[in-house]
Amino acid sequence: MTVRRFPVAGEWREGVGSFEVRSPFDGSVVAEVARPSTSDVEDAVARTAEGFARTRDLPAHVRADALAHVSARIGERAEDLAVSVAREGGKPLKWARVEVARAVSTFRWAAEEARRFGGDLLRLDTEESLGSRMGIVRRFPFGPVLAITPFNFPVNLVAHKVAPALAVGAPVVVKPATKTPLGALALAELVGETDFPAASISVVPVGNEAAEKLVTERRFRTISFTGSSAVGWHLKEIADPRTRFTLELGGNAGVIVHDDADLDHAAARVAIGGNYQAGQSCIAVQRVFVQDRVYDDLVARLVKEVESLKVGDPLDEDVDVGPLIDERALDKVATFVDEAVSSGAEVLTGGTRDDPFYRPTVLARTTPEMKVRREEIFGPVVTVEPYGTFEEALGLVNETAYGLQAGVFTRDVDRLALAHKELEVGGVIANDSSAFRADQMPYGGSKESGFGREGLRSAMEEMTEPRILVLSNVPL
């Protein structure tokens, strides 16, 4: 098997030794990837820092055309990329195709925003004492970006960091998850086909220890991290305090189903939202709260929908739920469920481990103290509990340290407006599950779920700073 090299500022290197990328489904070797040496990593940082002067001066049309090229090329290679995602991460092929299609959209949006992204014109003649003045506010990139990405979206979550960085003129070093590095390598190859300077992107598939050293590197002015809350907050703590962070962290998303909702629709969307990639998504449905008048009806529909999901080989066209990423993830899910059951929770369906799978599970009679309600399970497990009033349901959703997204099923606009106001989350999804995301929308969380926002324009703002030029004695 040919060893996959990694790019350092346009130079594809062999590193020192290699590591295997294995399928979580059957353990087969998907690829062998070169392992960067300490000097490779240092070169990536140094050349990225040196390249900033060139990338920030690229005209908008050059950036836009290059990003549009990457978008088109992802589309051309879509099936190969989807198969790669399914093999290296165990994501069912149907969802891998969706991820790759979203990456096409992500780079297309970046191309469009690169042409629009500018600034503001301010009237400063608002007080007599200010005279005839005008302010021009432009946004400038802070500097080189370090992007740390997780295993669960190996193409599109890399795209969500690389595309906005390049759109604003900031070079980027990507540290992908070593379990799923192939998407980042493929995107870097496509960026290399464009007029972006060679230093615009480097990919260093290194382990967590090396990643910690990268985070303390002062030549990075912005760090964009997606991953677990514990790791994200730790990295921010050890980084230089002047480094700007965007943290997209964990969640245990809540969903409300009120008595006026379309129950068939709600059950179907919750079933998919909690299981579509074995629950390994930070906005996967984990906690469902159902108005007590329709609780039994909704639960019956939900159990039926969950039991209809096909579990199996991620390359099977009909499979809905694939394997968990590794044995450690399986251990965690099994422990959470077993502890809940031993404390009184009821298994309505699933609740069994079948390596490399955990069967899609619905639990009832859970309590807030149980880990399945309190922590992020990151597996195919959904809890379902009744509530009385809508206001009570809002409180139940908020009874967690996390706050990424929530879903609310109701036909009442006033209730949706109240949920928008009261729920302590980054996004409220009306009449759909918490797992919905459009790539151009602001995306991020509050509380332990992090801070900052992704989504192309929002991410571009996170990677830049406003700078005002005040013009005096301007004819107005």
The catalytic site residues sit at: 248, 282
Residue with tokens 């003045």: 133
CA–CA gap between residue 449 and residue 228 (Å, rounded): 9
* Angle between helical axes of 60-76 and 93-116 (0-180°, round to 10): 170
Could you tell me where the DSSP H helices lie in 156-260?
A: 156-168, 182-191, 208-215, 229-238
CA 283 → CA 57, 148, 153, 225, 442, distances in Å? 37, 18, 12, 16, 14
What is the residue whose two structure tokens read 């190969």? 80
Residue pair 259/411 in contact (Cβ under 8 Å)? The answer is no
- Identify the bridge partners of residue 227 per DSSP, sorted by sequence position: none
Contact residues for 104 (Cβ-Cβ < 8 A; gap 6+): 71, 72, 74, 75, 78
Mapping DSSP to helix (H, G, I), strand (E, B) and coil, where does residue 43 land? helix
Cα separation, 319 vs 361, whole angstroms: 16
Q: Tokens 């009442």 label which residue?
A: 412
Contact 463, 222 (CB under 8 A): yes
